[in-house]
Homo-oligomer: A and B are copies of this chain.
Amino acid sequence: MRILVLGGDGYLGWPTALHLSRRGHDVGIVDNCVRRNYDHEMGVDSLVPIETLHKRVRLWQEVSGLTIETYVGDLTDAAFVDEVFERFEPEAVVHFAEQRSAPYSMIDRRHAVYTQVNNVAGTLNLLYAIAEHDPSIHLVKLGTMGEYGTPNIDIEEGFIEITHKGRTDVLPYPKQPGSFYHLSKVHDSHNMAFACRIWGLRATDLNQGVVYGQATDETTLHPGLATRFDYDGVFGTVLNRFCVQAVIGHPLTVYGKGGQTRGMLDIRDTLACVELALLNPAEEGEFRVFNQFTESFSVQQMAEMVADAYPGRTEIAHVEDPRVEKEEHYYRAAHTKLLDLGLVPHLLDGTTLRSILAIADTHRDRVDPEAIRATVEWRRTASRLRTASPGLRA
């Protein structure tokens, strides 16, 4: 299959591209490399060193004998998107190419508007490109479990049957996202559902949980094929961040009570889920939603698991929650559709945790402890970061 991986230079896009390449697909990577720029803006860096896109694509060819085409440009540039589609002629598109950090979107007005315009306009351009070039191209789009928020009823996969005043319909599941980033994904989902309806496009929305881990079968073939490992307060996700805190002897910082429960998955399962979606495409005109996670844990549980897995004594510290979210809530979310397609999950156990802790240990000298702190506060319209951003209000 000819597959374009949009955002193929990022944390998940890169290993997904390698995985699909090794599985025999013709892969093209589209990326504007802006993720690397966010690091420069924030004054942080991936824990694990990463090569430039062009260097690692060349390295992949040396290691595997397989070629990945690269297109550097921006999805908000419609002419660029058209050109990529004309040159690559994809049969499927995997779309990771969005600003994906909730705290980044909450820094201030400028970052909120940037996040929504970038994500929404980029995805709109993509929908038009598919409709105009070939409506049969299957779009596999990364959404987030965070689109649902934490309702007091079970979360279903994208749709819910509602009986109301004696009548019944199956409707889009109501969304209560918790950041301007999460909102951008909700906007995308609505736009995609509509595009499928009017133009007969086929799309799969993968509402992904929080990913942990960094090593995959392909990235470990050579150190230069590594993907990023983020532990900072803006782009680092909870479990990876806890592992870095453990190895540098920093208390594991749990926001608030730690009762926030989230769907989680191993990075290797992200790759497997994306491939399963590609191999079992949506029907013509179908907009389908898969909840892409394998287990749910509370933040407190995750901190305890990491503390248990790391030798010696690791403290857990409860810090004020910078977000506006429920610190204790009901959480039960369906996630059977990918299992039905054949997903065999890597569950979170001591072995997995120790392997992530080992990666963190190897690179502990690169850790900047100052970068870990949560500096973006939801209740403020502008958070002061240690790196000055023009236009910030105190």
State the A residues within 8 Å of B (CB).
78, 109-110, 112-113, 116-117, 120-121, 124-125, 128, 131-132, 151-154, 160, 162-165, 167-169, 171-180, 183, 186-187, 190-191, 193-194, 197-199, 324, 330, 378-379, 381-382, 393
In the complex, how many angstroms separate the beta carbon of A22 from the nearest chain B beta carbon? 35
Shortest 6 CB-CB distances between A and B: which pairs? A171-B174, A152-B169, A109-B128, A153-B164, A187-B187, A198-B324
B165 and A162 contacting across the interface, CB-CB below 8 Å = no
Which residue of chain B is the closest to A161 with respect to CB atoms? B164
B-chain residues with CB within 8 Å of residue A112 when the two chains form the complex: 124, 128
- Whether A171 contacts B176 in the complex (CB less than 8 A), given A109-B125, A121-B117, A379-B199, comes out as yes
Chain B residues in 8 Å Cβ range of A163: 153
User: Does A120 lie within 8 Å of B187, measured CB to CB?
Assistant: yes
- Known contacts A109-B78, A120-B116; decide if A154 and B164 are in contact (CB<8 Å): yes
A194 and B183 contact, CB distance less than 8 A: yes
A122 to chain B: closest CB distance in Å?
10
Task: Return chain B residues, CB-CB under 8 Å to A121.
Answer: 113, 116-117
What chain B residues lie within 8 Å of A162 (beta carbons)? 153, 160, 162, 164, 174
The reply to whether B199 and A381 form a contact with Cβ atoms under 8 Å apart is yes
Q: How far is the CA of A176 from the CA of B160 in the complex (A)?
A: 13
Select which of B117, B153, B168 is within 8 A of A165 by beta carbon: B153
A381/B186 in contact, CB under 8 A? no
CB distance from A220 to the nearest CB of B (A): 40
Q: A198's contact among B160, B165, B378, by CB below 8 Å, is which?
A: B378
Q: A109-B125, A128-B381, A152-B168 are in contact. List 14 more A-B contacts (CB 8 A).
A: A113-B121, A132-B382, A152-B167, A153-B162, A153-B163, A171-B174, A171-B176, A172-B175, A176-B193, A177-B190, A179-B194, A197-B324, A198-B379, A199-B381
A167 to B190, Cβ gap below 8 A? no
- Residues of B near A172 (CB, < 8 A) are 174-176
Closest to A167 in B: B153
How far, in Å, is A193 (CB) from chain B's closest CB?
Answer: 8
**How far in angstroms is the closest Cβ of chain B from A104?**
15
- Greatest chain B CB density within 10 A among A177, A178, A198, A379 is at A198
Q: Smallest distance from the beta carbon of A76 to chain B beta carbons, Å?
A: 8
List 24 contacting pairs A-B, 8 Å CB cutoff, sorted by A.
Answer: A109-B125, A112-B124, A113-B125, A117-B120, A117-B121, A128-B381, A131-B381, A151-B169, A152-B169, A153-B163, A153-B165, A153-B167, A153-B169, A154-B167, A160-B164, A160-B174, A167-B330, A178-B194, A180-B194, A183-B187, A186-B190, A197-B324, A198-B378, A198-B379
